[in-house]
Amino acid sequence: MDERIRKFMYGRYGSDELYRFHLILYFITLIIGLFVKSKILLLIQLLLIALIIYRPMSKKIYKRSDENVRFLNIKTKITKPFINIKKNIKDKDHIYKRCHKCKTTLKLPISLKRGIKHAKCPHCGNRVTLFTLKKEKIEIITSKNKK
């Protein structure tokens, strides 16, 4: 049985990030559909099911790959402002702040004194403002943001 599925899927695109996004979106609309009865929501669900079935079975690999790349570009544009917030939540010893001039991410240890502090960007010399609540030592450690 597994061999037949492998032979059938040979030369087809398969799943990717856009496929997973469609699947999650379908389940969200399915849950919303349990509480709200709407023909438009049902139409969206049917469209999503068609996409969920069509995209992995497609033999037009380059077109599906281009669609996925466009989706990933949009996804990174949306999630990019929240990267430092995620890092600040995970790392309790440092504050991640972005230089507005050169777009470098600065990894700043939390200061000894509470209040507003200023740090200088080592790449462009721009002054970065930092507000701290914890009491610890401060020094500048840089890491270049990948583009």
pLDDT digits (tens, 9 = 90+) for 50-103: 999 999 888 888 999 999 999 999 999 998 888 877 887 787 777 777 777 777
- Domain carrying residue 105: 91-143
Residue 120 has pLDDT above 80, yes or no: no
Residues 52 and 95 in one domain: no
**Sheet of strand 94-98, all strands in order from the earlier edge strand to the far edge:** 94-98, 105-109, 141-143
Question: Is 62 within a domain?
Answer: yes
Task: Establish if 86 belongs to a structural domain.
Answer: no
**Same domain for 97 and 47?**
no
Task: Tell me, yes or no, whether 71 lies in a domain.
Answer: yes
User: Do 65 and 95 share a domain, yes or no?
Assistant: no
Instruction: Examine the domain organization and report whether 63 and 10 are in the same domain.
Output: yes
The verdict on 101 and 49 lying in the same domain is: no
pLDDT range class, residue 146, cuts 50, 70, 90: low
Please say if the pLDDT value at position 143 is more than 70: no
Residue 122 lies in a domain: yes
Same domain, yes or no, for 23 and 63?
Answer: yes
pLDDT of residue 81: 80
| Residue 29 belongs to a domain | yes
| pLDDT > 70 fraction of the chain, expressed in percent and rounded | 86
Q: What pLDDT score was predicted for residue 110?
A: 72
Q: Which two tokens stand for residue 39?
A: 């023909």
Indicate if 72 and 7 belong to the same structural domain: yes
* Number of independent structural domains in the chain: 2
97 with 76, same domain?
no
* Residues 66, 8 within the same domain: yes
pTM above 0.85, yes or no: no
Confidence of residue 29 (pLDDT cuts 50, 70, 90): very high
Reply yes or no on whether the pLDDT at 134 is more than 60.
no
Q: Pinpoint the alpha helices (H) of the chain.
A: 2-9, 17-35, 39-57, 61-79, 83-90
85 lies in a domain?
Answer: no
- Residue 19, pLDDT > 50, answer yes
7 and 69 assigned to the same domain: yes
Tell me the two tokens of residue 17: 């990030």
